[in-house]
């Protein structure tokens, strides 16, 4: 499996960088061992417990299994506990962390309906007496433990190197474009509790990268960018994941000596990922099988599992009949299209489960592209591997002169690998702020609105008439910020830094 290698030797101090992408449905980890004089190489963490050795997959299901409140396992091994009532599984828990701005109309429409989603958000509950932070702490520990084992088994003298560099190991955490310092603060605290870093080093050793930016680094590393990318080119990146779809517009500022990019405008982030296709499928099956002996909750759960693992992934919009495998040869109900443990769905039935989600993605992208000439749209992410999604996007955006480009690597996690590449390259030199950022300060009276607060003014040490508690803007919304320095700002709540 080919991996990215920098074309420039590393010149700073020796270190290990671990990049994690804890996705809604799948999770991945990559690492870089940076040694002075050598060209840094991204390494994918594979051979996860429970995976077939020959699979070589660099991602695992985002499952955390508990027996009561005791952690049992994570990832692929959770398959052994899916039908065991003594165990509960935390899944799709990333949805609990989404900000309110993302929690909107994502319920599937009724069977055969063209109505919009309802405004109510349904999120699978966490296991009883298990907090969201506990789930993140447990999966972070699990990821780091296996990364350590993998590193020590694949790097010469790896055990000694890991032990020597562990205290200053850096971590890159990929997050949706729509997340902000609130979610970053949550992940930072979880990383401290999981002992990835100490509280004193967290600000220095933890880096955050948006999934969109990580994905553009991943895509440029593995797509033939030289064939279409030139100075001045504007292109879009759509990172279609499990629960969110991040869309970002970039302009290529230069190609030599290195590719340099800048964001054209604030990125888009909507809650419209692959899990909502599964949710729509569950709703469709509930209505379709009403009256069938196979319409019970347990059987329907098995059908959704079969739909997600195979039917959804193979569907490209051309198959007139589509098979959902769920049972054995004795499971038959021809009235409802069930033959020998297989449910037959029509093309329209499967397409219906995609349509509202794809509609949301298209609407978000159209908003991003409005008034701009874009020739290339790079499609990445787990849901981005869907041939039907790609076909629909090509049909729509080809009429606007844009070509949809994909990176065919279904066993890899774009944001996890892209996070490591981002650390090495840092190609994006300017970002468009999604919010206006600033601080509270005291300023001299010089604007008309200050006169409304003249009664609370005071004379400062310089003899200037000054008002307190004014908002001073550091970066305006949508204004591009050149990345010449980093300032970490934490919100203060109840006297504590978040």
Whether the Cβ atoms of residue 150 and residue 46 lie closer than 8 Å to each other = yes
**pLDDT at res. 451:** 63
For the chain, 498 residues long, the average pLDDT of each consecutive 10-residue run is 84 96 94 95 94 81 96 95 92 89 47 36 85 98 98 96 97 92 96 97 95 86 76 90 88 81 85 90 95 94 94 95 95 96 97 94 91 89 92 94 81 86 70 61 65 70 74 63 43 43
**pLDDT at res. 119:** 36
Q: Around Cβ 373, how many Cβ atoms within 10 Å?
A: 9
Strand partners, 262: 251, 430
Contacts of 127 (CB under 8 A, 6+ apart): 66, 69, 88, 89, 90
DSSP H or E run through 255: none
Q: E strands, 126-192, where?
A: 170-175
Predicted TM-score of the model (pTM): 0.78
d(CA 129, CA 299): 28
Whether the Cβ atoms of residue 312 and residue 281 lie closer than 8 Å to each other = yes
**pLDDT at res. 475:** 66
**pLDDT at res. 408:** 64
Q: E strands, 196-349, where?
A: 206-210, 234-240, 245-254, 260-263, 268-270, 321-325, 338-339, 342-346
**pLDDT at res. 52:** 81
Alpha helices, DSSP H, located in 250-346: 275-288, 297-306, 312-314
**pLDDT at res. 453:** 65
């Amino acid at each position: 499996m080919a991996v990215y290698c920098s074309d420039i030797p590393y010149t700073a101090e020796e270190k290990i960088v671990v990049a994690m992408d804890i996705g809604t449905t799948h999770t991945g980890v990559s690492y870089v061992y940076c040694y002075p004089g050598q060209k840094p190489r991204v390494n994918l963490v594979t051979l996860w417990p429970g995976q077939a050795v020959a699979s070589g997959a660099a991602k695992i299901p985002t499952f955390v299994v508990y027996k009561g409140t005791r952690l049992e396992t994570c990832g692929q091994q959770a398959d052994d506990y899916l039908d065991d009532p003594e165990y509960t599984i935390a899944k799709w828990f990333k949805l609990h962390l989404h900000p309110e701005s993302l929690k909107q109309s994502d319920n599937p429409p009724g069977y055969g309906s063209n109505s919009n989603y309802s405004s109510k958000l349904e999120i699978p509950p966490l296991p009883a007496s298990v907090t969201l932070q506990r789930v993140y702490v447990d999966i972070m520990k699990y990821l780091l433990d296996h990364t350590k084992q993998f590193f020590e088994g694949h790097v010469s003298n790896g055990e000694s190197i890991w032990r020597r560099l562990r205290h200053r190991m850096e971590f890159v955490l990929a997050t949706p474009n729509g997340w902000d310092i609130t979610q970053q603060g949550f992940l930072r605290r979880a990383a401290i509790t999981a002992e990835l870093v100490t509280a004193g080093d967290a600000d220095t050793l933890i880096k955050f990268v948006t999934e969109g930016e990580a994905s553009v680094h991943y895509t440029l590393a593995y797509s033939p960018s030289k064939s279409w990318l030139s100075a001045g080119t504007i292109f879009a990146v759509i990172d279609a994941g499990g629960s969110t779809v991040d869309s970002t517009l970039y302009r290529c500022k230069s190609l030599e000596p290195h590719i340099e990019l800048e964001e054209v405008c604030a990125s888009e982030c909507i809650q419209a990922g692959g899990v909502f296709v599964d949710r729509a499928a569950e709703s469709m099956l509930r209505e379709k099988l009403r009256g069938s002996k196979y319409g019970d909750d347990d059987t329907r759960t098995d059908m959704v599992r079969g739909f997600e693992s195979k039917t959804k992934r193979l569907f490209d919009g051309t198959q007139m009949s589509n098979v959902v495998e769920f049972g054995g040869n004795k499971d038959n109900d021809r009235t409802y299209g069930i033959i020998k443990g297989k449910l037959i769905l029509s093309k329209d039935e499967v397409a219906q489960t995609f349509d509202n989600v794809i509609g949301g993605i298209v609407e978000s992208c159209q908003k991003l592209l409005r008034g701009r000439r874009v020739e290339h749209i790079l499609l990445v992410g787990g849901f981005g591997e869907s041939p039907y999604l790609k076909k629909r996007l090509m049909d729509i955006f080809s009429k606007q002169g844009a070509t949809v480009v994909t990176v065919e690597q279904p066993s890899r996690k774009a944001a996890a690998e892209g996070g490591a590449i981002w650390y090495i390259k840092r190609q994006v030199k300017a970002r468009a702020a999604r919010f206006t950022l600033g601080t509270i300060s005291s300023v001299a009276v010089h604007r008309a609105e200050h006169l409304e607060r003249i009664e609370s003014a005071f004379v400062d040490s310089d003899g200037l008439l000054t008002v307190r508690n004014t908002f001073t803007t550091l970066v305006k919304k949508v204004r591009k910020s050149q990345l010449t320095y980093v300032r970490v700002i934490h919100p203060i709540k109840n006297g504590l830094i978040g």
